[in-house]
Copies of this chain bind each other. A is one copy, B any other.
Amino acid sequence: MEGESQRNLSDSRRNISKKDQERSASRLERLASHMAAVPLVREAQLARQECAKVKIKHQVHVSTLVEFLTQGHQSEQEKVYRFFLERPHLQTPVEIHKDKHRELCMRQLTAVVREAGIRPMDLLLNDPASYFVFTEAIGHIDLSLAIKLGVQFSLWGGSVINLGTKKHRDKYLAGISNLDYPGCFAMTELHHGSNVQALQTTATFDRLTDEFVINTPDEGATKWWIGNAAVHGKFATVFARLKLPSPDSHLDKDMGVHAFIVPIRSMEDHSVLPGVEIRDCGYKVGLNGVDNGALRFSNVRIPRDNLLNRFGDVSRDGEYNSSLPTVNKRFAATLGELVGGRVGLAYGSVGVLKASVTIAIRYALLRQQFGPPNKPEISILDYQSHQQRLMPLLASTYGFHFATQYLVNRYAEMKVTHDDEVVADVHALSAGLKAYITSYTAKALSTCREACGGHGYAAVNRFGSLRNDHDIFQTFEGDNTVLLQQVAADLLKQYKEKFQGGALSVTWNYLRESMGTYLNQTNPVVTHREGHGHLRDPNFQLDAFQYRTARLLHTAALRLRKHSQRLGSFGAWNRCLNHLLTLAESHIESVILAKFIEAVNRCPDKDVRSLLKLVCDLYALDRIWEDIGTYRNQDYVAPNKAKAIHRLVEYLSYEVRGVAKELVDGFGVPDFVLRAPIGLQNGQYSEYMQYVGF
């Protein structure tokens, strides 16, 4: 039944989408009339005129906004959307059994590569920025598809290309690219997710046959959660401890974790190969279009050539050689090549947030409930609590967009220049933004569902699948808590090594200056200033963010030094762990704000710039208010200023509400991609009625 309703929905959406152009012309008039119909807002507007120092122009052309946001990539996304729009049989229905979803997902992937003529592997290698834009669009079609695609190209393909050498590229690239060789990335084990350096699977070199022998030594070493393994994969990049027989001892030498290409299913009849055991990890909270499996190996033999040998190799006679001197450095180099996955997740998470925020805000504009005595009911977005719930979320989405756009560009730069400083920057930034944004989006998805009340609970309105599918973004490709510790560790390293005159990486540069401010006393005049001009000055905002980061960094370094004498470095780290996580988050927020402010400043269109400035102010001040305890404890902000910030956040939320429609339209997710009846640009209720069959 759902399948059919889904198709009806798509048909009518196609019509809606045709009318899009005519509609955008009359958008301003409708907004004006809509606001006029809301008495409360007018009253409140009068009462708040004294606050309105910055007058917001409502003459925003949404198309200009979209153009500025997409930076010329719009047509690539539209190509994906159109492809699926024209193929209803490739659209994922609202309810679908795991097994059918997996088959559909594979068909979708095959169609993208073989029918739409898009070559994700080429994009990833030659034009990474376009690759990430493309996968964001794929995620809007179905997040399972985006992950299935990521497993095939970024993880399986990426491991072969980045950890292997020319012989691997020659042998596998074409097959990976055209899907003849579907593959897996077999890193995680039952007992080891975050601590991958402790993986237990072994690959022992057999000099007699010139082969590696892959084994699963115990239950805990079972490869777990391996995408593409349960059904479709023919190969796997298996991470295992390289063991070399030692002439002096009956114990093998452990060379640490390396990656190996292991065929797992027959190219002829897809049967599981001897020595390989595969089980289905089963139904998951989300992403059920991806076939995750568990793998065990028992004396599986692979040629020596199957070692992905870019960072370490074994010769015919069993000698190990590597340009990198230690196990740790080799392991870091290996993992380092996989950073693209995190970039993709951070970027894709913002895509999910855009869809979710669009649905929640369009519904909040439509939905009316209660009102002043003997007057019409008002939109729920006219309630202060609803503005407080959704407007900072909308502002954050814009901030995250600009920050991840910066990250993607840095990643593309890194792939060209291989500059050490850029590499370090991309590593820490991708870890931090992935962790911060995916955690934020996960919470935001719940907030959006709740904001849509009962109608948010209908599966057709998308919050369920978005939340369930996105949920694991917080865990895979690095658990967020672990990633934030990497950011903190990187900050501390820079603090120790480079603070006294050395070069800080670009993104970190602000810290030197802020540390100066922090170490000096705060200026008592500034701590009391509460005018809007001051509070909305990007210099004040940035300083507040960076001051906090500098303070957290300095005090963390002191506390770690103090505790490590008694507890050792591991114990001291654990003793300061909450502090370190807060430091990492604070740093990431500083980066997001800085990128947001840069985006505002470079925006060529005056109206769009003024709109973005408003949104950026809300982002900055809301964050400061959310952490006001810290600012008060340091007397960085006096009590009167704290109150002024709070009032301004409420006022800015109210002002952003006035342009909320334009701001979500600016995300440019078409109705037929968004799909949720309550999130459409128009006719939401009637579309919803139609969906249930009236």
A residues in contact (CB < 8 Å) with B: 1-2, 5, 40, 43-44, 47, 94-95, 97-98, 188, 190-195, 198, 219-220, 222, 224-225, 277, 279-286, 294, 296, 368-373, 377, 382-386, 388, 442-443, 446, 449-450, 453-454, 456-460, 463-464, 467-468, 471-472, 474-476, 479-481, 563, 566-568, 570-571, 574-578, 581, 628-629, 632-633, 639, 642-643, 650, 685-686, 688-689, 691-694
* Inter-chain contact B219/A685, CB cutoff 8 Å: yes
* Inter-chain contact A1/B280, CB cutoff 8 Å: yes
* Inter-chain contact B384/A578, CB cutoff 8 Å: yes
Which residue of B642, B685, B693, B694 contacts A220 across the interface (Cβ within 8 Å)?
B685
| Closest chain B residue, CB of each to CB of A192 | B369
Which residue of B296, B372, B460 contacts A568 across the interface (Cβ within 8 Å)?
B372
* Inter-chain contact A689/B471, CB cutoff 8 Å: no
Q: Give the chain B neighbours of A195 by CB distance below 8 A.
A: 369-370, 377
Which residue of B467, B476, B575, B629 contacts A454 across the interface (Cβ within 8 Å)?
B476
Q: How far is the CA of A632 from the CA of B643 in the complex (A)?
A: 12
Q: Give the chain B neighbours of A457 by CB distance below 8 A.
A: 284-286, 471-472, 475
Q: How far is the CA of A471 from the CA of B688 in the complex (A)?
A: 21
Q: Give the chain B neighbours of A385 by CB distance below 8 A.
A: 481, 577-578, 581
Q: Give the chain B neighbours of A98 by CB distance below 8 A.
A: 95
Q: A384-B577, A577-B383 are in contact. Are A43 and B190 (CB under 8 A)?
A: no
Extra contacts, 15 of them, besides A284-B457, A285-B463 (Cβ < 8 A), are A43-B566, A190-B688, A219-B694, A222-B689, A279-B692, A281-B458, A285-B456, A285-B459, A372-B568, A373-B570, A383-B577, A449-B471, A450-B475, A457-B472, A633-B639
Q: Give the chain B neighbours of A97 by CB distance below 8 A.
A: 95, 97
* Inter-chain contact A694/B283, CB cutoff 8 Å: no
| Closest chain B residue, CB of each to CB of A580 | B385
Which residue of B296, B567, B633 contacts A43 across the interface (Cβ within 8 Å)?
B567
* Inter-chain contact B282/A458, CB cutoff 8 Å: yes
Q: A193-B369, A370-B195, A449-B471 are in contact. Are A459 and B283 (CB under 8 A)?
A: yes
* Inter-chain contact B685/A190, CB cutoff 8 Å: yes
* Inter-chain contact A44/B632, CB cutoff 8 Å: no
Q: Give the chain B neighbours of A639 by CB distance below 8 A.
A: 633
* Inter-chain contact A642/B650, CB cutoff 8 Å: no
| Closest chain B residue, CB of each to CB of A296 | B694
Measured CB to CB, the closest approach of chain B to A9, in angstroms, equals 12
Q: Give the chain B neighbours of A191 by CB distance below 8 A.
A: 368, 685
* Inter-chain contact A568/B43, CB cutoff 8 Å: yes
Which residue of B296, B382, B454, B475 contacts A188 across the interface (Cβ within 8 Å)?
B454
| Closest chain B residue, CB of each to CB of A643 | B633
Which residue of B296, B382, B453 contacts A194 across the interface (Cβ within 8 Å)?
B453
Q: Give the chain B neighbours of A220 by CB distance below 8 A.
A: 685
Q: How far is the CA of A1 from the CA of B283 in the complex (A)?
A: 10
Q: How far is the CA of A576 from the CA of B388 in the complex (A)?
A: 12
* Inter-chain contact B47/A460, CB cutoff 8 Å: no
| Closest chain B residue, CB of each to CB of A97 | B97
* Inter-chain contact B442/A693, CB cutoff 8 Å: no
Q: How far is the CA of A463 from the CA of B468 in the complex (A)?
A: 10
Q: Give the chain B neighbours of A694 by CB distance below 8 A.
A: 219, 222, 277, 279, 294, 296
Q: Give the chain B neighbours of A468 by CB distance below 8 A.
A: 464, 468
Measured CB to CB, the closest approach of chain B to A223, in angstroms, equals 12
Q: A283-B94, A475-B454, A475-B457 are in contact. Are A44 and B296 (CB under 8 A)?
A: no
Among all A-B residue pairs, the 3 with the closest Cβ atoms = A285-B464, A629-B629, A372-B570
Measured CB to CB, the closest approach of chain B to A353, in angstroms, equals 16
Q: How far is the CA of A449 from the CA of B439 in the complex (A)?
A: 12
* Inter-chain contact A194/B94, CB cutoff 8 Å: no
Q: Give the chain B neighbours of A280 by CB distance below 8 A.
A: 1, 692-693
Which residue of B43, B277, B285, B443 contacts A449 across the interface (Cβ within 8 Å)?
B285
* Inter-chain contact A571/B40, CB cutoff 8 Å: yes
Q: Give the chain B neighbours of A1 by CB distance below 8 A.
A: 280, 282
Which residue of B44, B192, B194, B692 contacts A281 across the interface (Cβ within 8 Å)?
B692
Q: How far is the CA of A472 from the CA of B461 in the complex (A)?
A: 14
- Which one of A94, A95, A691, A692 has the greatest number of beta carbons of chain B within 10 Å? A692
Q: A369-B193, A457-B471, A566-B47 are in contact. Are A574 and B281 (CB under 8 A)?
A: no
Q: How far is the CA of A454 from the CA of B472 in the complex (A)?
A: 7
| Closest chain B residue, CB of each to CB of A98 | B95
Q: Give the chain B neighbours of A642 by CB distance below 8 A.
A: 629, 633
* Inter-chain contact B369/A454, CB cutoff 8 Å: no
A–B Cβ pairs within 8 angstroms, 8 of them: A43-B568, A95-B283, A222-B694, A282-B692, A285-B464, A286-B457, A372-B571, A464-B468
* Inter-chain contact B575/A44, CB cutoff 8 Å: yes
Measured CB to CB, the closest approach of chain B to A649, in angstroms, equals 10
Q: Give the chain B neighbours of A566 by CB distance below 8 A.
A: 43, 47
Q: Give the chain B neighbours of A219 by CB distance below 8 A.
A: 685-686, 689, 694
* Inter-chain contact B454/A193, CB cutoff 8 Å: yes
Q: Give the chain B neighbours of A693 by CB distance below 8 A.
A: 279-280
Q: How far is the CA of A77 from the CA of B279 in the complex (A)?
A: 36
Q: Give the chain B neighbours of A296 by CB distance below 8 A.
A: 694
Measured CB to CB, the closest approach of chain B to A471, in angstroms, equals 7
| Closest chain B residue, CB of each to CB of A639 | B633
Q: How far is the CA of A195 from the CA of B632 in the complex (A)?
A: 40
Measured CB to CB, the closest approach of chain B to A610, in angstroms, equals 26
Q: How far is the CA of A481 from the CA of B574 in the complex (A)?
A: 38
Measured CB to CB, the closest approach of chain B to A663, in angstroms, equals 21
* Inter-chain contact A383/B574, CB cutoff 8 Å: yes
Q: How far is the CA of A131 from the CA of B536 in the complex (A)?
A: 56
Measured CB to CB, the closest approach of chain B to A637, in angstroms, equals 10
Q: How far is the CA of A589 from the CA of B456 in the complex (A)?
A: 28
Q: How far is the CA of A97 from the CA of B369 in the complex (A)?
A: 34
Q: A369-B195, A384-B574 are in contact. Are A282 and B691 (CB under 8 A)?
A: yes
* Inter-chain contact A190/B689, CB cutoff 8 Å: yes
Q: How far is the CA of A633 from the CA of B640 in the complex (A)?
A: 9
Q: A219-B685, A377-B195, A577-B383 are in contact. Are A571 and B369 (CB under 8 A)?
A: no
Q: A190-B689, A578-B650, A689-B190 are in contact. Are A284 and B568 (CB under 8 A)?
A: no
* Inter-chain contact B449/A446, CB cutoff 8 Å: no
Q: How far is the CA of A280 from the CA of B578 in the complex (A)?
A: 48
| Closest chain B residue, CB of each to CB of A450 | B474
* Inter-chain contact A44/B567, CB cutoff 8 Å: yes
Measured CB to CB, the closest approach of chain B to A140, in angstroms, equals 19
